[in-house]
Amino acid sequence: MIGTLRKTLERGGLVAAAWLVMSMAASGAPAAAAEPLEARDSHVSRYSAADYTASSWAAFSSVRDSLTQRGGDDATAREKLQMAADGLVMVRGLKNLVADYKTRPAGKYTSDSWVPFAKALANADGVAADASATASEVAAAKTALATAAGNLVAADEGTFQTITNDVFWNDTSGNPIYSQGGGVFKFGDTYYWYGVHYTGAELYRTNPTRKYDGDVSFVSIPVYSSKDLVNWKFENRVATRSTSPLANAGWVGRLGVSYNENTGKYVLVVQAYLPSSGGDGVLFLQGDSPTDTFDYAYFQTQVVNSPTTGTGDQTVFTDDDGKDYLIFSNRSGRSRAFVSKLRESDSLRVEPAVQIGYNSAGREGNAMFKLDGKYYHAASDLHGWNTSVTHVIESTSSNIQGSYTGEYTLAGTEMDYSHVTQTGFFVTVKGTKQNTVIYAGDRWADFAWNGIGYNQWMPVTKTGARPQFHSVSQWQFNATTGEWRVGPANNYALNPNFQADRIIVPQVQGWTNFRESGPTSLVTNVDGGANGSRFALRIGATQSYAGGVRQQITVPAGVYRLSAFARTTGSLSAAQVTITDAGGASRTLNIPASSGWTRRELAEIPVSAGTATITIRATSGNGYLFVDDLGLVRTSGDTPPGQRHEAETAPAVCQGTIDANWAGFSGSGFCNGNNAAGAYAQFTVNASAAGPATLGIRFANGASGARAANLVVNGSTVATVSFESTGAWTTWATKTVTVPLNAGGNTIRWDPTTAAGLPNIDYLDLGATAG
- Footprint on this chain of Ca ion (rule: CB under 5 A): 672
From ligand GCU, Ca ion, none, interface partner of 193 (C-beta below 5 to 8 A by class) = none
Residue among 547 and 673 whose Cβ is closer to Ca ion: 673
User: Nearest CA to 644 among 769, 771, 731, 768?
Assistant: 768
Give the CA angle between residues 639, 634, 388 to the nearest 5°.
135
3-state secondary structure of 604: strand
Residue among 552 and 675 whose Cβ is closer to ligand GCU: 675
From Ca ion, ligand GCU, none, interface partner of 613 (C-beta below 5 to 8 A by class) = none
Give yes or no for residue 703 binding ligand GCU (CB under 6 A).
yes
User: Nearest CA to 60 among 36, 29, 27, 82?
Assistant: 82
- Which of 101, 298, 729, 750 touches ligand GCU (CB under 6 A)? 729
Residue among 49 and 755 whose Cβ is closer to ligand GCU: 755
Smallest gap from residue 548 Cβ to ligand GCU (A): 54
Smallest gap from residue 659 Cβ to ligand GCU (A): 6
Smallest gap from residue 758 Cβ to Ca ion (A): 7
Smallest gap from residue 667 Cβ to ligand GCU (A): 16
Give the H/E segment covering residue 101.
Answer: helix 92-101
Residue among 455 and 672 whose Cβ is closer to Ca ion: 672
Residue among 565 and 729 whose Cβ is closer to ligand GCU: 729
Smallest gap from residue 644 Cβ to Ca ion (A): 22
From ligand GCU, Ca ion, none, interface partner of 244 (C-beta below 5 to 8 A by class) = none
Residue among 447 and 665 whose Cβ is closer to Ca ion: 665
From ligand GCU, Ca ion, none, interface partner of 754 (C-beta below 5 to 8 A by class) = none
Bridge partners (DSSP) of residue 562 are 602, 632
Residue among 375 and 763 whose Cβ is closer to ligand GCU: 763
d(CA 415, CA 388): 10
Give yes or no for residue 330 binding ligand GCU (CB under 6 A).
no
- The site map against ligand GCU for 665-684 (x = CB under 6 A) is -------x--x---------
Smallest gap from residue 598 Cβ to Ca ion (A): 57
Residue among 351 and 659 whose Cβ is closer to ligand GCU: 659
Smallest gap from residue 698 Cβ to ligand GCU (A): 14
Supply φ then ψ for residue 320, to 5 degrees: -60, -30
Contact of 581 with 568, CB cutoff 8 Å? no
> For residue 173, with 0-12 CB atoms within 10 Å meaning exposed, 13-18 middle and 19 or more buried, which class applies?
exposed
Smallest gap from residue 672 Cβ to ligand GCU (A): 4
Smallest gap from residue 752 Cβ to Ca ion (A): 9
Smallest gap from residue 765 Cβ to ligand GCU (A): 21
Residue with nearest beta carbon to Ca ion = 672
Contact of 176 with 490, CB cutoff 8 Å? no
Contact of 587 with 640, CB cutoff 8 Å? no
Q: C-alpha distances in angstroms, 540 versus 518, 569, 593?
A: 9, 9, 14
Residue among 60 and 662 whose Cβ is closer to ligand GCU: 662
Smallest gap from residue 683 Cβ to ligand GCU (A): 18
Residue among 403 and 657 whose Cβ is closer to Ca ion: 657
Residue among 355 and 675 whose Cβ is closer to ligand GCU: 675
Contact of 199 with 249, CB cutoff 8 Å? no
Residue among 502 and 707 whose Cβ is closer to Ca ion: 707
Residue among 479 and 761 whose Cβ is closer to Ca ion: 761
From Ca ion, ligand GCU, none, interface partner of 729 (C-beta below 5 to 8 A by class) = ligand GCU
Residues in Cβ contact with 688 at an 8 Å cutoff, skipping those fewer than 6 apart? 743
From Ca ion, ligand GCU, none, interface partner of 703 (C-beta below 5 to 8 A by class) = ligand GCU
Residue among 123 and 675 whose Cβ is closer to ligand GCU: 675
Residue with nearest beta carbon to ligand GCU = 672
Give the H/E segment covering residue 670.
Answer: strand 670-673
Tally Cβ neighbours within 10 Å of residue 573. Answer: 11
Give the H/E segment covering residue 613.
Answer: strand 610-636
User: Nearest CA to 447 among 508, 527, 534?
Assistant: 534
Smallest gap from residue 653 Cβ to Ca ion (A): 15
End-to-end CA separation in angstroms for the chain: 58
Residue among 18 and 654 whose Cβ is closer to ligand GCU: 654
3-state secondary structure of 155: coil
- The site map against ligand GCU for 609-648 (x = CB under 6 A) is ----------------------------------------
Smallest gap from residue 682 Cβ to ligand GCU (A): 17
Give yes or no for residue 455 binding ligand GCU (CB under 6 A).
no
The 8-class DSSP code of residue 136 comes to H
Residues in Cβ contact with 176 at an 8 Å cutoff, skipping those fewer than 6 apart? 168, 169, 170, 202, 205
Smallest gap from residue 764 Cβ to ligand GCU (A): 17
From Ca ion, ligand GCU, none, interface partner of 588 (C-beta below 5 to 8 A by class) = none
Residue among 142 and 749 whose Cβ is closer to ligand GCU: 749
Smallest gap from residue 675 Cβ to Ca ion (A): 5
Residues in Cβ contact with 111 at an 8 Å cutoff, skipping those fewer than 6 apart? none
- Phi-psi domain of 545 (left: phi exceeds 0; alpha: psi -120 through 50; beta: other): beta
Contact of 466 with 459, CB cutoff 8 Å? no
User: CA-based Rg of the chain, rounded to a whole angstrom?
Assistant: 32
Tally Cβ neighbours within 10 Å of residue 369. Answer: 21
Q: C-alpha distances in angstroms, 581 versus 297, 306, 618, 630?
A: 59, 52, 20, 17
> For residue 76, with 0-12 CB atoms within 10 Å meaning exposed, 13-18 middle and 19 or more buried, which class applies?
exposed
Give yes or no for residue 658 binding ligand GCU (CB under 6 A).
no
The 8-class DSSP code of residue 290 comes to T
For CA atoms 310, 342, 91, 57, the dihedral sign is negative
d(CA 7, CA 1): 10
Give yes or no for residue 760 binding ligand GCU (CB under 6 A).
yes
d(CA 171, CA 174): 5
The 8-class DSSP code of residue 361 comes to T
Smallest gap from residue 662 Cβ to ligand GCU (A): 6
Could you list the residues that contact ligand GCU (CB under 6 A)? Answer: 659, 662, 672, 675, 703, 729, 757, 760
